[in-house]
Amino acid sequence: MKACVVVFPASNCDRDVAVSLEHATGIAPEMVWHGDGSLPDCDLIVLPGGFSYGDYLRCGAMAAHSPIMRDVVARAKRGTAVLGICNGFQILTETGLLPGVLMRNASLKFICKDVHLRVERNDTPFTNAYDKNAVIRIPVAHHDGNYYTDEGTLNRLEGENLVAMRYCGQDGYVTNDNNPNGAARNIAGIYNEQRTVLGLMPHPERLAEEALGGTDGAPMFASLVEALS
Amino acid sequence: MKALIKITLKNGVLDPQGKAIEQALSGLGFSGVDNVRQGKLIELELSQTDAGKARAELEDMCKSLLANTVIEDYEIELEDA
């Protein structure tokens, strides 16, 4: 699997995710600057976490119009897998590759803590190494992760099984108490219709090896290697 | 000509920042304040002198970048037009 990580001004999880990808594939991913006009040939494009362009205007709004994003959108439309983590998820919604928007957390607080997530399906390139409905623990670190879209779109996401992960308790139950940011229907991540694009607020790369205190994020990278190699 | 673009959250979209401002105002002793909503005001100068064309261009800017129409409404105001 050949992976590219797009680096924007003020990306700050680009190198973390590069380490996770290299551990999973044995090959260092290609780091691509946002100002470049096109991506090298690759099987996976990662939009990493961070605060691209200082979150000016709206989180991800400026990055969504970076020169490189034209090629990212074109490749995504041709079926190349795209993983957007945290700010990457915000950028994906701003480009329109994923519906909805990530609003300010309902508590108004920046939240940095481990959360439990229920993996809603395990038949996608991103989750095939997880059990169906597996409960995993990885961290969130964001100020704007409150997923919002209109009821019609929420119903369509549910109806087409495009919700990738939901905030839940350790036991897997999805309740308001386990919703860290006010996200509609506890949504932590969603797929596009083809399930080739995933946006999620939590950070699998931050708990992907024992030395970091947990490995629940690692199967996401293993899944991608399995699906895309 | 100069343009002012007012961007506000759509009705029904929760505005936690507005709520926090409302609470702060009440904490300062201002009573009778309700429904505080926070938005953005963007000011810009256009070289375009035709008001109709300017408005069309601004609509385009709002839809493609300045506002996120999933959650925001925008209002365009032209000065010296």
* pLDDT tens track for B24-35: 999 999 999 999
In angstroms, what separates the C-alpha of A70 from chain B's closest C-alpha? 14
State ipTM.
0.85
The number of domains in chain B is 1
pLDDT score of A53: 94
The pTM of the full predicted model, rounded to 2 decimals, is 0.94
Q: Is B16 on the interface with A (CB under 8 A)?
A: yes
Q: Name the residue range of residue B65's domain.
A: 2-78
> Strand, helix or coil at B53?
helix
Q: State yes or no: pLDDT of B48 exceeds 60.
A: yes
* pLDDT tens track for A114-163: 999 999 999 999 999 999 999 999 999 999 999 999 999 999 999 999 99
Q: Is A203 a catalytic residue?
A: yes
Cα distances (angstroms) measured from residue A194 to each of A98, A163, B79: 11, 12, 46
Give Cβ neighbours of residue A110 (< 8 Å, ≥ 6 apart).
A141, A142, A143
**How big is the CA angle at A146 (ends A34 and A105), to the nearest 5 degrees?**
100
Q: State yes or no: pLDDT of B80 exceeds 90.
A: no
> Percent of chain A beyond pLDDT 70?
100
Q: Is A205 a catalytic residue?
A: yes
Looking at the DSSP assignment, which residues form a beta bridge with residue A197? A82
pLDDT score of B68: 96
Token code pair at residue A180: 């860290």
**Cβ contact A103–B71 (<8 Å):** yes
Cα distances (angstroms) measured from residue A107 to each of A144, A182, B35, B37: 10, 8, 18, 16
Q: Name the residue range of residue A51's domain.
A: 3-228
Determine which helix (DSSP H) or strand (DSSP E) holds A75, and give its type and residue range.
helix A67-78
Residue B21: closest CA among chain A residues belongs to which residue?
A: A108
pLDDT score of B81: 53
> Percent of chain A beyond pLDDT 90?
100
Chain B residues in contact with A57 by the CB 8 A cut-off are 65-66
Residue A26 belongs to domain with CATH number: 3.40.50.880
Among residues A56, A18, A52, which one has the least CA distance to residue A35? A52
* pLDDT tens track for A173-225: 999 999 999 999 999 999 999 999 999 999 999 999 999 999 999 999 999 99
* pLDDT tens track for A39-91: 999 999 999 999 999 999 999 999 999 999 999 999 999 999 999 999 999 99
- Calculate the average pLDDT of chain B: 94
Query: Which runs of E-coded beta strand occur in B1-81?
Result: 2-9, 40-45, 72-78
pLDDT score of B12: 87
Alpha helices per DSSP H over B1-81: 16-27, 51-61
pLDDT score of B5: 98
The number of domains in chain A is 1
Residue B14 belongs to domain with CATH number: 3.30.1280.10
